[in-house]
Amino acid sequence: MDYINFFAFGIYPYLAGSVFLIGSWMRFDREQYGWTSSSSQLLSTSGVRLASNLFHIGIIGIFLGHLVGLLAPFSIWHAVSLSMLGKQYIAMYGGGFLGILCLIGGAMLWWRRVTNPRVRAAGRASDLFILTWLLLTLLLGLSTTFITAQHASHGNADTMMAMAQWAKSIVLFSPKPELIAEAELIFRLHLFFGMTVFLVFPFTRLVHIWSAPFGYLARAYQIVRTNRASAR
Amino acid sequence: MSHFLDRLKFLTKTKETFSGGHGIVTNEDRQWEDAYRHRWQHDKVIRSTHGVNCTGGCSWKIFVKNGLVSYEMQQTDYPRTREDLPDHEPRGCQRGASFSWYLYSPQRVKYPLIRGRLLDLFRAERLAGKDPVEAWAAIQADAGKRKQYTAVRGLGGFVRADWEEVKEIVAAANVHTIQKYGPDRIFGFSPIPAMSQISYASGARYLSLIGGACGSFYDWYCDLPAASPQTWGEQTDVPESADWFNSTYLIVCGSSLPTTRTPDAHFVSEVRYKGAKVISMAPDYAEYCKASDLWMPVNPGTDTAAFLAMGHVALKEFYIDNQDPYFSEYARKYTDLPVQVMLRKQGDGYVSDRCLRASDLDGALGETNNPEWKTIVYDEKSKSFVAPNGSIGFRWGEEGKWNLLPKNAATQEEIVAQLSCIDGKDDVVSVGFPHFEPGEGDLLYRNVPVRKVKLASGEEALVATVFDMQVAQYGIDRGLGGENVTSDYSDASVAYTPAWAEKVTGVKAADIERTGREFAYNASKTQGKSMVIMGAAINHWYHNDMMYRGVMNLLHLCGCVGQSGGGWAHYVGQEKLRPQAGWAPIAFALDWHRPPRHMNSTSYWYFHTDQWRYETLRPDDLTSPAGKGKYKGYSLADYNVAAVRMGWLPSAPHWNANPLDLVAEAEKAGATDEAGIAQHVIGKLKDGSLDVAFADPDNPVNWPRNLFVWRANLIGTSAKGHEYFLKHLLGAQNGVLQESGDGRENKLVKWHEEAPIAKLDLMVDVNFRLNSTGAYSDIVLPTATWYEKNDLNTTDMHPFMHPLAEAVSPAWESKSDWQIFKNIAKTFSELAEKHLGTRKDLVALPMQHDSVFEMAQPFGEVKDWSKGECDPVPGKTMPLLKVVERNFSDTYRKYIAIGPMMVNIGNGVKGLDWNTEEEYEELKVMNGEVKEPGVSQGMPSLEEDIFVCDSVMRMAPETCGEVAHKSWSALSKKTGIDHHHLYAARQEDKITFDDIKVQPRKIITAPTWSGIESETVSYTSCYTNIHEHIPFRTLTGRAHFYQDHEWMLDFGEGFCVHKPPQDMKSFSNLSPEISNSSHIKLKWITPHSKWGIHSTYQDNHRMLTLFRGGPYVWISEVDAKAAGIEDNDWVEAVNANGSTIARAVVSQRVSRGMAMMYHAQEKIVNVPGSNTTGKRGGILNSVTRVVIKPTNMIGGYVQLAYSFNYYGTVGCNRDTEVIMRKIADKDIDWLERPLTPEREAQLNPPGIGPR
């Protein structure tokens, strides 16, 4: 295994993860006023509703798919009697479908960001960069589907298993880069691009993901503070 | 501590719940609230204001955050007015609120800038081993080198320079100019000191110390109402805005209060709630018309006719048909209406001549002192002619009778001056009155009752009162028969009836009649609380003095002037430099040398920018057959030269020789004192080896050489005839679309076939913004903004002393004006030590108003020594000749200290003198003494700006009660009346700079002004003339309806008369190709804008954002349609003077026949090229040319005597006409091409030569 693969799949994940977590924390503490989704909907509404929904539905679905697909213990699949190959088909069709939704929405947003003069003027370079990067990552991910389909047609779920095991090895702090060092290049590129998203995350508008307003679902109707001295 | 960790405390976040869990109590971190707290926290909040051209004098809070000015907001802590009056606050407008943008804007001048080519030339000479003065001389001696930088003025090419080096260049140029040509070839221009007094004083002090000339501004801006000195002998004095609230009837014309007097306009709204009626008169539906009860749309430039017709109604109904007791008493005591005027036989009838004097009568009525200067009335009590108290003859040479008490001066018995002799007339004669409305005859004969009087010479003369002639002049029938009078308002054939006025002005006769009647009725009921607010729109015309006198006549007939809530209120560029008496010695270095050199700018620029070479106006077309016409055939320029020779107007330079050399030459020839030197000069004048410079302005010897501009935009918005400035003064790319030649026919001014270009060797602009003036300068010095310096500010709109204060230190490399000129003075002194040393300078001083020389030329007769009519006698028939010794190397040491003349000679204002020793000693303690060894060691220091502020205030009666006491005591002696009560309560007050930083402070009543500061009345002008019986500073001591100077009568302006707008012949030399390109010819009106000038500039980004983002011109829908122009199209306004390009604003607001381009729109923002001229598209003044008026040149004659910014030619510009045409978008050329040698060589428009 060469040093590039060792770095990319043994060290880079921790680098990206550290920047992601520490960076997000620092930005949250230091730059409260920059903690925003930087929505441009105010500047131009045409087509945003459709594009944004397609993009967000797609990408949230893909994210959850990756989370579950890579990190869920194999025992769960056994318990529901889902074969590895079956799981691979679900990933292919489900992921493919969501990926295409995301791609359509993302491409629309990208086009808007480049051509709409108001959005373009107000947007920062990082906005265009991160959108482009996500789309490239997505395209790489979608193109792995064809190889996965080939594997599947041969009844082979090894690559996918290897990916999941590698992901777990990272999360469990016993990195095993060798698990995927031999995988097709396209997989490795997709992984690299994906990890880079985490690396740049704190420096972009993506931080708004942290602030998904789940709290609203369960919050009290009235939130007050007291100025009574005894309130402590 | 950490927002993130706080978020993690979700388990302990909820302290308790209530309402069944629907509500929770939290103790979330509150740190985020600090962001909102910090938003309103500042390092400091400093009081300052906006300091060049704004009469607001508004108190602003300047907020400083992190060392930067973040914004400004209105301050609301003025002292109150009175219980029954609204307060002056809050003051401030949208312009002032936008100024902070400027500090850190791209327009800010951050470093000293110099034209790159000039710097290269200078460095090369220095490297060759020359010292700075030699280096400068070498560049000037080589025409080719000089042209390298003069030809690219206005085309960019600045480089950043270092303070030391630019100071050296400026000082070297000054030294060289003094040496080679004389100090009066150095000129400085800065406007309106009142708004930043110390800044003005800086450059003026430097120039005065080295003998340079300071140019006037009030007259040049045409804001000086010549009618005010003519009528009252007073430059301008107006009510504070609070006095509008005391009025019950207001006519507003030519002054858009909400637009240009924004912080004061509330008083007009408030007085309407109190029940006052407000009438507006304007050609357009201006902003102020909306807040009036009646809008009278008037043809531009015809306001005189409307006011004279209102006067016709008032006079007929309140003097002739009925006699209003208040009006007649006022007229007798305070106006010249009862004064006797001699009639002169002319043709079949008579014309009015000069006023009768005591010297004309037997035994001079017992008057031995100045009997030629004492006018006569007929006393109803003693049934005889008497010389009443108060005429100018009593002001000088005697004491106690210069007052307006109705007394016979000889006996001090009470008199009743008779207005009309109609019941005791000796005869009725036909008197010709000049008339100028085309087609109605130029002399209208009307019958006037007269008395016969036997003169001392034995002759019998006919005399009439001003009143009797004024009634005839108004065309009112008194049953004396004769023509040109009527008792029918609807008779349109008789001049000055309402029906006649409708024909001329377009205003409905019924409106004129009603307004005239109501105005007078209201004044009668309220003892004068009828007011006229007026301004630029009627004052900027060639015949502005007629417009204003038309208003003043109405006001005086109705007894309004000097009454609270009544009188005139002139608002345009008027200023009130309240601590003037304390300021003038510092500004003009009177503490070291007297007299300083002052110059009336209008004549200066008329000659030096060669606008006289293009003169299309012939004085012979302007005169009346009623005059003596001794100057027939003279050109306007000739009149000015005659005025300079006779000691009426100043001149810079004065002679066609270096004044330093003149003295040296005289001393060499044996002269030992001032009189000897004067004799030498007179000898040279007589034999023709010396002459005034204006007799040959194009001779290089007489060119202005160095020009300082500070606090100003001289070349941009202030240059009437902008393109001529560019062509002749600067030698830059210009758009003049004609060649000179019309001005060839002169009697006194020498004509050179080739016109000179690039007269200036060096132009220095001191500014914080790079505007159109900086763009044409050779050196631009960065100065502090209004929030970065300590200075004083006063206005006539409110009675408070106000500071400008240093909220932040001057940004980048800028310095305050005081420090800049201090530094230049230092370098100058060093260079002068070697090159100049001590020299004697000869200053020619005109015969000034408020000095005894205002009585130089009796009877208003013109006697010209150069025509052999008299001998040249300094101070009598020619200027005073004063020798001033200057040690040029002491300039810096003198600049930083208050000099000894304040102790040796003392201080004074308006003809009053007082001792100022005590204040001098106090200032030594307050400011500290100068430590630097030399001529000024141990004197009160002026090293810091605040020292200067405090010195001004300590020496002025308005800010130091003790000085008020001294100055009032001096006046009490002259009038014989005790004025002590006016300031008694404040005799111990001394206002300091620290005081006014805390809160604006109300000034102390001073004799400098004609109103009072009191707990019972608002400040209003001429109040002390009426209520304290202090005479107006005029011939009769009273307000003048009649002007008896020969030139006044020559031009038919003895009485106020309607003169139509002057045809400037703006198209006569225009190529037919341009003339025929559009048939839309419009009057060119240049009022003030809502979105620029005064307290900020139009090129301020916030202002641009509010309206059109660049230059624009308003035209009516009708004219736009006829010319195929739609709103926002590019249009070109063009005439022989040049071309300007702007966007069209097509609006119903504007009447047909006029185009309005707001004043002060900058050339540097969004101005494309003009295809007609091939140059940058110009500014509002690209199509104007300044024209001077001979009646404004009169001098040596009381109220018509010259004084700086007081009387003199005015730079009118309203009479211009332009051709308006559309420019297609595709034809717009932004001229964004590199400078090629061809383009550099093409200074003039295609097809126009250098002449």
> What DSSP designation does B243 have?
G
pLDDT over threshold 60, residue B914: yes
Nearest chain B residue to A21 by CA: give it: B4
Tens digit of each residue's pLDDT (9 = 90 or more) over A170-184: 999 999 999 988 889
B2 with A29: Cβ contact below 8 A: yes
Nearest to B32 among A32, A220, A224 (CB): A32
Q: Which of A29, A223, A224 sits opposite B3 (nearest CB)?
A: A29
* A150-164, B296-310, B809-823, B906-920: the lowest-pLDDT one: A150-164
pLDDT classification of A232: cutoffs 50, 70, 90: very low
Tell me B1038's DSSP state: S
Q: Which residues of B touch A29 (CB under 8 A)?
A: 2-4
| B817-835 helix and B197-210 helix, angle to the nearest 10 degrees | 10
Residues B319-323: what's their mean pLDDT? 97
User: Side chain identity at B1215, as an amino acid letter?
Assistant: D
- Give the helix/strand (H/E) hosting A133: helix A125-153
Query: Which of A28, A225, A231 faces B4 most closely, judged by CB atoms?
Result: A28
The residues near B1246 (Cβ < 8 Å, ≥ 6 apart) are: B1174
- At residue B632, φ and ψ (nearest 5 deg) are -55, 135
What b/e sequence results for B65-99 when a residue is b if at least 16 CB atoms lie within 10 Å of its CB, and e otherwise? eeeebebbebbeebeebeeeebebbebbbebbbbb
Distance from CA of B6 to the nearest CA of A (A): 10
pLDDT (tens digit per residue) in B1046-1079: 999 999 999 999 999 999 999 988 888 888 888 8
- Provide the token pair at B612: 């006289």
Please state the φ and ψ torsions of residue B320, each to the nearest 5 degrees: -95, -60
Closest-CA residue in chain B for A27? B4
Size of interface A-B (CB pairs under 8 A): 39
- Do B1060 and B22 form a contact (C-beta atoms < 8 A)? no
Q: Which amino acid is present at A149?
A: A
Rounded-to-integer distance, Cα A88 and Cα A93, Å: 9
Please list, in sequence order, all residues whose beta carbon lies within 8 angstroms of the beta carbon of residue A143, skipping any fewer than 6 positions away. Answer: A186
Mean pLDDT of chain B: 95
What 3-state DSSP class applies to B189? strand
The structure tokens 């939704």 sit at A101
Q: pTM of the full predicted structure?
A: 0.90
Complex ipTM value = 0.78
Going by pLDDT thresholds of 50, 70 and 90, the confidence category of residue B1026 is: very high
Would you say how long chain A is, in residues? 232
Nearest to B25 among A29, A221, A226 (CB): A226
Strand blocks (E) in B624-770: 706-710, 762-767
Angle at B1004 between CA B998 and CA B1008, to 5 degrees: 125
Tell me if A221 and B23 make a contact (CB, 8 A cut-off). yes
SS3 B662: helix
Cβ count within 10 A of residue B591: 28
Contact A220 B22 (CB under 8 A): yes
8 Å CB contact of A223 and B15 = no
CA distance to partner chain B, nearest, from residue A222 (Å) = 4
Contact B960, B954 (CB under 8 A): yes
Residues 6+ apart with CB under 8 A from B689: none
Verify whether the Cβ–Cβ distance B23 to A29 is below 8 Å.
Answer: no
CA distance A63 to chain B (A): 24
pLDDT at A231 over 50: no
pLDDT value, residue B214: 97
Residue B1051 DSSP code: T
Q: Which of A20, A221, A227 to mutate to test the interface with B (most CBs of B within 10 A)?
A: A221
The DSSP secondary-structure symbol of B803 reads E
- d(C-alpha B760, C-alpha B732), whole Å: 11
* The pLDDT value given to residue B1096: 81
| Residue B520 to residue B554: CA distance in whole angstroms | 8
Q: How close B44 comes to chain A (CA, Å)?
A: 25
Q: Is B31 on the interface with A (CB under 8 A)?
A: no
Strand, coil or helix: what is B530? strand
Yes or no, beta carbons of B22 and A221 under 8 Å apart: yes
- Asked if B4 and A25 come within 8 Å (Cβ–Cβ), the reply is yes
Report angle CA B654, B658, B664 to the nearest 5 degrees: 120
- Kindly indicate the confidence band of residue B975, based on its pLDDT and cuts at 50, 70 and 90: very high
Q: How many CA atoms lie within 13 A of B1025 on its CB side?
A: 33
Q: In what order do the strands lie in the sheet with B277-282?
A: B294-297, B277-282, B249-253, B530-535, B567-571
Residue B1246: per-residue pLDDT: 92
For B1130-1156, letters b (16+ CB in 10 Å) and e give: bbbbbbbbbbbbbbbbbeeebbebbbb
The pLDDT of residue B90 is: 85
pLDDT in tens, B376-388: 999 999 999 999 9
Residue B852: DSSP 8-state: G
Percent of chain B with pLDDT over 70: 100
Tokens (6 digits) for A95:
């992921």
What lies within 8 Å, CB to CB, of B73 at 6+ separation is B60, B61, B63, B92, B97
B476 three-class SS: strand
Q: How would you classify the pairing of strands B68-74 and B60-65?
A: antiparallel
d(CA B714, CA B214): 13
The answer to whether B23 contacts A225, with C-beta atoms less than 8 Å apart, is no
Residue B463 CA to residue B461 CA, distance in Å, equals 6
Q: Which of B86, B53, B249, B46 is nearest to B1097 (CA)?
A: B53
DSSP for B948-961, written as a single string: HHHHHHHHSTTTBH
Q: What is the pLDDT of residues B1217-1226, one digit of tens each?
A: 999 999 999 9
- CA angle (B576 as vertex; B573, B578 as ends), nearest 5: 160
Give the CA angle between residues B228, B231, B235 to the nearest 5°: 30
- Pick B982 or B27 by higher pLDDT: B982
- pLDDT value at A63 more than 50: yes
- Find chain A residues with C-beta within 8 A of B35's C-beta: 32-33
Length reported for chain B: 1251
Does B19 contact chain A (CB < 8 Å)? yes
Q: Kindly tell me if the per-residue pLDDT of B695 is higher than 90.
A: yes
Chain A: closest CA distance from residue B252 (Å) = 47
Going by pLDDT thresholds of 50, 70 and 90, the confidence category of residue A229 is low
- The verdict on a CB contact (< 8 Å) between B23 and A223 is yes
pLDDT at A227 over 90: no
What pLDDT, on the 0 to 100 scale, is given for residue B692? 97
pLDDT digits (tens, 9 = 90+) for B230-257: 999 999 999 999 999 999 999 999 999 9
Q: Mean per-residue pLDDT for B613-628?
A: 95
Q: What is the domain partition of chain A in residue ranges?
A: 2-32+45-210
B1144 secondary structure, DSSP code:
E
d(CA B229, CA B227): 6
Cα–Cα distance between A84 and A92 in angstroms, integer?
A: 12
Are A224 and B24 inside 8 Å of each other by CB?
yes
Which run of H or E residues covers position B505?
Answer: helix B498-505
Of B906, B938, B944, B895, residue with least CA distance to B586: B895
**Residues of chain A found within 8 Å of residue B21, distances taken between Cβ atoms:** 220
Choice among A28-32, B398-402, B648-652, B878-882 with the minimum mean pLDDT:
A28-32
Residue from B11, B12, B15 to probe the interface with A (highest A Cβ count within 10 Å):
B15
Distance (Å) of CA B508 to CA B294, B426, B569, B680: 12, 40, 25, 64
Give B21→chain A minimum CA distance, Å: 7
**Which pLDDT tens digit goes with each residue over B811-855?**
999 999 999 999 999 999 999 999 999 999 999 999 999 999 999
The domain made up of A2-32+45-210 has a fold known as Fumarate Reductase Cytochrome B subunit (1.20.950)
d(Cα B1022, Cα B563) in Å, to the nearest integer? Answer: 8
Which tokens is A201 given? Answer: 């995350």
Q: How many angstroms separate the CA atoms of B24 and B1205, rounded?
A: 75
What would the pLDDT profile of B735-785 be if each residue is shown by its tens digit? Answer: 999 999 888 989 999 999 999 999 999 999 999 999 999 999 999 999 999
B332, amino acid identity: R
Predicted confidence (pLDDT) at residue B193 exceeds the cutoff of 60: yes
CA B309, CA B476: separation in Å to the nearest integer? 11
